Chain A
Amino acid sequence: QKEVEQDPGPLSVPEGAIVSLNCTYSNSAFQYFMWYRQYSRKGPELLMYTYSSGNKEDGRFTAQVDKSSKYISLFIRDSQPSDSATYLCAFNTGNQFYFGTGTSLTVIP
């Protein structure tokens, strides 16, 4: 079993839609949960991070963590064409980062 599972997509949504991106993980040592956004031919950019179960909101973005189910989600409200990118979930044991494969998102105007 892979330590991190993420649906690669691609995912296409109309502008204004709510987007839900998800990752599952198997390693109980993961302590920190992150979402990165990566535009084509650019380095990943940290969007959100959290270390506890529950929801964390930042503008149009909400990160959700369910440690009991080993499941994290990123919700994007009122999606914009500028949100078109690859979204990577990432996990940190404290010594090493693990990335999901990334989900490619296209928001269509």
Chain B
Amino acid sequence: DTEVTQTPKHLVMGMTNKKSLKCEQHMGHRAMYWYKQKAKKPPELMFVYSYEKLSINESVPSRFSPECPNSSLLNLHLHALQPEDSALYLCASSQDVPAGVDNEQFFGPGTRLTVL
């Protein structure tokens, strides 16, 4: 199984709503990532979890709150978002964060988020 799954596929929310994005992988990977991708732009790294601990936070606003309940799951909790936060949110995983020849990232299909 070389798949990263993400739910939901699409999400529309108001600025006062609280919602969560979910990501799951069963490849035994110990590093998991959240990226944000705007249209016609490359993915921008938001967070990195390594061995279920937050290792990188790329100065993301606190209205985005990541959570790693276990080694297979990664959540992104959303609260009080702004319309400019509308984007494709991608989850990815890799064997580990340090360099290695097998350290490819596998991406999920993304959640298309629209903030009204």
- Docked pose: A61 CA to B1 CA in angstroms: 24
A44 proximity list for chain B (CB < 8 A): 43, 90, 107
Partner of A43, one of B56, B97, B103, B108: B108
Contact A43 B105, beta carbon cutoff 8 Å: no
Cβ-closest chain B residue relative to A88: B42
Chain A nearest CB from B106 CB (Å) reads 7
Q: Say yes or no: A49-B104 contact (C-beta < 8 A), given A44-B43, A95-B97.
A: yes
| B98-114 at interface with A (beta carbon < 8 Å) | 98-99, 101, 103-110, 112
- Docked pose: A49 CA to B106 CA in angstroms: 12
Q: Mark A12-50, 1 if CB is under 8 A from B, else 0.
A: 000000000000000000011010100001111110010
Interface size class of B (residues with CB under 8 A): 20 to 34
- Docked pose: A44 CA to B90 CA in angstroms: 9
For residue A69, CB closer than 8 A to chain B, the reply is no
- Docked pose: A92 CA to B99 CA in angstroms: 8
Contacts A8-B40, A101-B42 known; list 15 others, CB within 8 Å: A31-B99, A42-B109, A42-B110, A43-B90, A43-B107, A43-B109, A44-B43, A44-B90, A44-B107, A46-B105, A46-B106, A49-B104, A95-B99, A102-B42, A104-B40
27 chain-A/chain-B pairs, Cβ below 8 angstroms = A8-B40, A34-B104, A41-B88, A41-B112, A42-B109, A42-B110, A43-B4, A43-B90, A43-B92, A43-B107, A43-B110, A44-B90, A45-B107, A46-B105, A46-B107, A88-B42, A90-B105, A92-B103, A95-B97, A96-B45, A96-B56, A97-B33, A97-B45, A99-B43, A100-B42, A101-B41, A102-B42
Chain A residues within 8 Å of B, Cβ to Cβ: 8, 31-32, 34, 36, 41-46, 49, 51, 88, 90, 92-97, 99-102, 104
